[in-house]
Amino acid sequence: LVWVIAMVKIKTCVFISGQGTNLKNLILKSRDCSFPVKINLVISDNKSAKGLNYAQKYKIPFLLINTKKKNYENKVLNHLKKNKIYLICLAGYMKIIPKRIINNFKGKIINIHPSLLPKFKGLNTFSRMLKNKEIKAGCTVHFVDEKLDSGNVIVKKMFYINNSDDEKILKKKTQKLEYKAYPEAIIKIFKNY
């Protein structure tokens, strides 16, 4: 029975640029036979991304891409096709996804962002939150469209900021929520699949 369920898992590719702790979390969650996706491919634009170690450790094929190369998206699309990828999860991927990839994967690309969107789109979320004297922080999993950090929200999780929280602590607290939010969002998307 486990084998049969594993066969129908959604083939998923995770895009990373850095630490890859969300990648690791998704890999571990996907080992649960009731979790709807399997991570079949990892794509990184950074050859020194620490997250690539998780791809290696868990024997997941990975692809390094050079986003400075003209038409690099063809290589990406070929690999996605070859691996029969259905869902793309961005997890700390620091580049803009080209229009051609978005058009080929309409409604099938999701991202996790370390703020309560629509607040604090873009980079340096924690320093801007502190500067703004925000009361709440959190994370958002959303669909990716052509505008930055703007697609429909799937899951949002928040916590109250303490006076003593600095950027480092905010990041730690946010990431703890991210490890719950990303799997929850994936389960929500595929609950009627």
Q: Which residues bind ligand GRF (CB under 6 A)?
A: 16, 18-23, 51, 91-92, 112-114, 139, 175, 178
Alpha-carbon gap, residue 53 to 59, rounded angstroms: 10
Cβ at position 183, least distance to ligand GRF in Å:
13
Cβ at position 75, least distance to ligand GRF in Å:
22
* CB-nearer residue toward ligand GRF: 36 or 92: 92
Query: Of the listed 24, 29, 38, 113, which one is catalytic?
Result: 113
Cβ at position 25, least distance to ligand GRF in Å:
8
* CB-nearer residue toward ligand GRF: 48 or 69: 48
113 is catalytic: yes
* CB-nearer residue toward ligand GRF: 82 or 176: 176
Cβ at position 74, least distance to ligand GRF in Å:
25
Sign of the torsion angle spanned by Cα atoms 136, 139, 144, 146:
positive
Give the 3-state secondary structure of residue 27: helix
Of all helices (H) and strands (E), which one includes residue 89?
Answer: strand 87-90
* CB-nearer residue toward ligand GRF: 70 or 119: 119
Distance of CA 66 to the CA centre of its chain: 19
- Coarse DSSP helix, strand, coil percentages of the chain, rounded to the nearest 5 percent: 35, 20, 40
- Residues facing residue 88 across a β-bridge: 13, 109
Instruction: Show which residues are catalytic.
Output: 113
